[in-house]
Amino acid sequence: MLTTQIIDDVVARALAEDAPWGDLTSELLIPEEAWASARLEAREPGVFSGGAVWEATMRLVDPRIRSTLLVEDGERFEPGAVLATVEGPARGILRAERVGLNLVQRMSAIATETSRYVAAVAGTGARIVDTRKTTPGLRALERAAVRAGGGHNHRFSLSDAVLAKDNHLAVLAQQHGGDVTAAIRAVRAQISHTTHLEVEVDRLDQIEPVLAGGVDTILLDNFTLDELRAGVALVAGRALVDASGGVTLDTVGAIARTGVDLISVGALTHSVRALDLGLDIGLPDARSAAPAAAPALATEGTSSPAAPPAARP
């Protein structure tokens, strides 16, 4: 779940990275009282994600910046669409611009790519799910973007569920005389009934011993289409079937038609290209006519996070 606290933590770190001692250019060129408006515009079609992140970026830079979202997460848009408007201190908008764009461009790219995969498997019953192949520090945002695109989330972290892969089983089986079924039963005996247990196999002959151990999901890794069909038949509804490995937009439809329940796609998050969005800044008529009125919006005791320290190293 993408909470306000998670969003604020990510955005605050990004802002500190981008302007650790303030925005030198804007502070030298832009008067402190200057007021501006801007529009977040799409330069290519896509699916939007990151509205709360965009608003948090503006708020954390300067609470006086007013941001209005014109689309919702998961909503499709075309080139030229205005996705959001902002108005407030020009320095603050300029400082927030790149961080806000970086995050929303990436989230919208993930939502857009996910929507393509979801469309490719429409009517099959298969779900598109993400993986842990995410950008360090941005997993919660990227997982939210997958949901905005119509996909589903796999386990969020190593702490959420058991997913035993080939290396896990190789080590575990050594302790049970090579008996994979006994190894899986030993795992099942140690976990709560609420903890999901998934096991990866890379050969058809591994399926029955794994199922006998009592798993919730069996992961068929790098199987051919014929092997996937055979694997689904062997499982026969005794567990969910998850397919992974070599999944692309060109292959995902055929994979879904083999009858698998889940298709894990690392490409949703690990290799997307940022969507082309831009922020165009101008001067609102009311504020440009009387910029001195802008400071009146600040409340007593409120300081802008955008204000830099007096000295820089």
Q: 76-112, pLDDT tens digit by residue?
A: 999 999 999 999 999 999 999 999 999 999 999 999 9
Q: Structural domain of residue 288, as residue ranges?
A: 4-116+273-297
Q: Is 133 a catalytic residue?
A: yes
Q: How far, in Å, CA of 239 to CA of 232, rounded?
A: 10
Are both 140 and 266 inside the same structural domain?
yes
Q: Is 91 part of any known ligand binding site?
A: no
Report how far residue 55's alpha carbon sits from residue 70's, in angstroms, rounded to the nearest whole number.
Answer: 12
| 133 assigned ligand-binding residue | yes
| Contacting residues for 306 by C-beta, under 8 A, at least 6 apart | 19, 22, 23, 61, 62, 89, 91, 92, 95, 96
For residues 188 and 207, membership in a common domain is answered with: yes
At 221, which helix (H) or strand (E)? strand 217-221
307 part of a folded domain:
no
pTM beyond cutoff 0.85: yes
Long-range contacts, stretch 167-175, CB < 8 angstroms, 24+ apart: 169/199, 169/200
Same domain for 44 and 104? yes
Q: Spot the catalytic one: 73, 113, 142, 200.
A: 200
CATH number, position 214? 3.20.20.70
Tally of domains within the chain: 2
165 belongs to the catalytic site = yes
Phi, psi of 126 (to 5 degrees): -80, 145
175 and 51 housed in the same domain: no
Average pLDDT over residues 164-174: 81
256-268 pLDDT, tens per residue? Answer: 999 999 999 999 9
Query: In terms of DSSP H, where are the helices of the chain?
Result: 4-18, 24-29, 51-61, 90-120, 139-148, 166-174, 180-190, 207-213, 225-235, 252-256, 267-270, 285-289
73 with 126, same domain? no
pLDDT reading at 185 higher than 50: yes
Asked if residue 22 belongs to a known ligand binding site, the reply is no
List residues bridging with 279 in a β-sheet.
Answer: 40
Is 247 labeled as ligand-binding? no
Same domain, 9 and 65: yes
| Same domain assignment for residues 289 and 251 | no
Shared domain check, 256 and 203: yes
Active site annotation includes 200: yes
Other beta carbons within 10 angstroms of residue 44's beta carbon come to: 14
The answer as to whether 23 is a domain residue is yes
Q: Could you read off the pLDDT of 131-162 as tens digits, one per residue? A: 999 999 999 999 999 999 999 999 999 999 99
Residue type, 121: V
Residue in 163, 183, 34, 12 with CA at minimum distance from that of residue 99: 12
- SS3 assignment, position 34: coil
**More confident position, 273 or 173:** 273
Minimum mean pLDDT range among 5-9, 141-145, 170-174, 192-196 = 170-174
* H or E, element range at 82: strand 82-89
Q: Are 162 and 261 part of one and the same domain?
A: yes
Q: Which of 39, 116, 165, 238 is catalytic?
A: 165
Q: How far apart are CA 58 and CA 38, in angstroms?
A: 12
Among 108-117, 180-189, 197-206, the least confident range: 180-189
